[in-house]
Amino acid sequence: MSATSSTNKKQAAITGVFGYVPDYVLTNQELETMVDTNDEWIKTRTGIEERRILKEEGVGTSFMATKAVKGLLEKTNTKPEEIDFLICATATPDMQFPATGNVIAHQSGLNCLSYDLMAACSGFLYGLVTGSQFIETGKYKKIIVVGADKMSSIINYEDRQTCVLFGDGAGAVLLEANEEGNGVIDSILRTDGAGATELYMKAGGSRYPATPETVANKEHYVTQNGAVVFKHAVKNMADTSAELAEKHGLTGDTIDFLVPHQANLRIIDATAKRLGLDSEKVLVNIAKYGNTTCATIPLCLRDFEDKFKKGDNLVLAAFGGGFTWGAVYLKWAY
């Protein structure tokens, strides 16, 4: 029996979405004054026109995530004390410890279990699936999954390969039980540590703690082997999405929307082509925000929320450093 044919099983459904992006807009034209690049090259290669940057002094990922969580609570008329669990997916925690999720929960007035989940750009999907398990078992009733990153804090704006790609932002979803057959139906999540040195930040952890040398060598910034990452992202995002669709008998006609990680327009196009989707079914906002890492998918859900109808079939797909990747099949609940 397929997972979609039973309405008795308790599913974890998204019942609200909210997002936050900083006010400052870093355009391709401004980047032209900072590094050897140009607007046409960036748009052609990535699809990005601008990205948001958190400029305020002394604030980090938790600042944006708290804005998203508070907005979500208000939008869904949810009291802080009703939340049982908060998962923060991030690649740029405020500090090594405490967990940024702890900080967000405190700043949002929550008194619940909270922690960070780190899986690079796939973090939000991993968090969504993790939270779903707690809903399905009945352990918790209301869970917030927030994906947030201040990528500008780990980007070298003299590196033309990476500085054009990333932006800052946060997006949050509320998960609750659903017995109508809507919600998270299935997922495929994978990792391959062989890709660890193709997209990574070398220094700042226990292996290479901060020293004058690591700072001078600019080892506290994102390093990426663009060609290798692109190749793996195209293949793996498309493969898992297609595998999940085939498992549930989904086709280009029955998938209502693809909600892809916004890393590169060419990667998104390859995944959509593999699923046989027309362009109007592919949700893209990369031009406005760039790659906000763990925030891309929830921000996409926020931006296109008005398009969704109850029962719509959504495929969420992501790829990130690690390597990490995966796809989630969910039926929209409202």
* Residue among 58, 66, 61, 50 at smallest CA distance from 150: 61
Domain locations in the chain as residue ranges: 11-180, 185-331
Phi then psi for residue 130, to 5 deg, are: -60, -50
Pick the catalytic residue: 261, 264, 294, 313? 261
Tokens of 80: 């802080």
291 is an active site residue = yes
Q: Distance between alpha carbon 243 and the CA centroid of its chain, in Å?
A: 21
Q: Are the beta carbons of 89 and 112 closer than 8 angstroms?
A: no
pLDDT at 8 over 70: no
pLDDT digits (tens, 9 = 90+) for 15-35: 999 999 999 999 999 999 999
Q: Are 20 and 195 in contact (CB under 8 A)?
A: no
Residue 112 appears among annotated catalytic residues: no
Look up the CATH superfamily of 11-180.
Thiolase/Chalcone synthase (3.40.47.10)
Q: Does domain 185-331 have CATH number 3.30.365.10?
A: no
Q: Which two tokens stand for residue 151?
A: 């990528």
The reply to whether 185-331 shares the fold of 11-180 is yes
pLDDT in tens, 81-134: 999 999 999 999 999 999 999 999 999 999 999 999 999 999 999 999 999 999
Report CA torsion sign: 290, 292, 296, 298. negative
Contact 172, 15 (CB under 8 A): no
Band of the pLDDT at 5, cuts 50, 70, 90? very low
Q: Over range 30-46, report the average pLDDT.
A: 95
pLDDT tens, residue by residue, 207-248: 999 999 999 999 999 999 999 999 999 999 999 999 999 999
Q: What is the pLDDT of residue 4?
A: 42
What is the SS3 assignment for 292? coil
Catalytic residue chosen out of the listed positions 28, 102, 112, 121: 121
pLDDT tens digits for 176-219?
999 999 999 999 999 999 999 999 999 999 999 999 999 999 99
Which of 289, 292, 323 is closest to 148 using CA atoms?
Answer: 292
Spot the catalytic one: 178, 264, 291, 313: 291
Say yes or no to pLDDT of 56 above 80. yes
Is residue 2's pLDDT more than 60?
A: no
Residue 315, SS3 per DSSP? strand
Q: Are 152 and 292 in contact (CB under 8 A)?
A: no
What is the CA angle 237-243-249, rounded to 5?
Answer: 130
Q: Give me the amino acid identity at 99.
A: A
- To the query of whether residue 294 is one of the catalytic residues in this protein, the response is no
With b meaning 16 or more CB within 10 Å and e meaning fewer, what string describes 159-192? eeebbbbbbbbbbbbbbbbbeebbbbbebbbbbe
What predicted TM-score, i.e. pTM, was given to this entire model?
0.96
